[in-house]
Amino acid sequence: MCFDWQGANSEPDQTPYCAQKLKWLLDHGYEVGNHTYDHADLLNLSDDQFVAKVGGGWTGLQKLVPGLEPDILAMPFGNYPDKDKHPEQRAMMRDGFSYEGADVKISAALMVGANPADSPVSVNWDPLYIARIRAYVGEYGSTRWLGQLASDPSQLYTSDGDPSTITIPTQLPSTLAGTFDEAKAKADGKQIVRYDAATGEAS
């Protein structure tokens, strides 16, 4: 399925335009990720099925757009391989695997929701378990979170636009106290810039 959805709302007339739409997204600065070959629930598949579903999504996109590396995996239904039944599959998510001659390496995986993601320099950050806010009206949708974050902007991590630096308040708000992983930031070669949240001046 590629831009044609499924079930009662399927739009098979859109299938021939898949490659064109993917190229448009890439040409306009978007990332294209993997959502498995056919939106398979990854909770309880055999190892071969897991590799085929995730790897098939990867190679299927590469056939449409050669050179594309869809290394961000959005988890269908929010389900990961069962940690007790399929630890090998969780290891494959971290370490990568081969499928049809392609080296499949997942750099990040997106959960189905339903809250803001931790900062990449948070002690809670794990690139294979990235929360996200989905755009819909509901208890865990964007309407709730946009209002909540607007009322307490101290919860927001905002990039300063310089990939070589991490800019944070000298005093973190209570909701984020103890979450800054300074060692990780330094290990990644980041310069740490601190500022006074009240004045906005560097300290």
Q: pTM of this prediction?
A: 0.84
Q: Is residue 169 part of a domain?
A: no
How many domains in the chain? Answer: 1
- 108, β-bridge pairs: 72
Q: Is residue 46 assigned to a domain?
A: yes
Can you give the residue range of the structural domain that contains 33? 7-154
Beta-bridge mates of residue 166: 192
Residue 93 lies in a domain: yes
pLDDT band with cut points at 50, 70 and 90 for residue 5: low
In a domain, 44, yes or no: yes
54 found inside a domain: yes
Interatomic CA distance for residues 190 and 182, integer angstroms:
9
Give the number of residues written for the chain: 203
Higher confidence at residue 140 or residue 68?
Answer: 68
Please give the pLDDT value at position 185.
94
The domain spanning residue 90 has which CATH number? 3.20.20.370
Both tokens assigned to 184: 């990780």
- pLDDT for residue 7 is more than 70: no
Give the pLDDT confidence of 30-54 residue by residue, as tens digits: 999 999 999 999 999 999 999 999 9
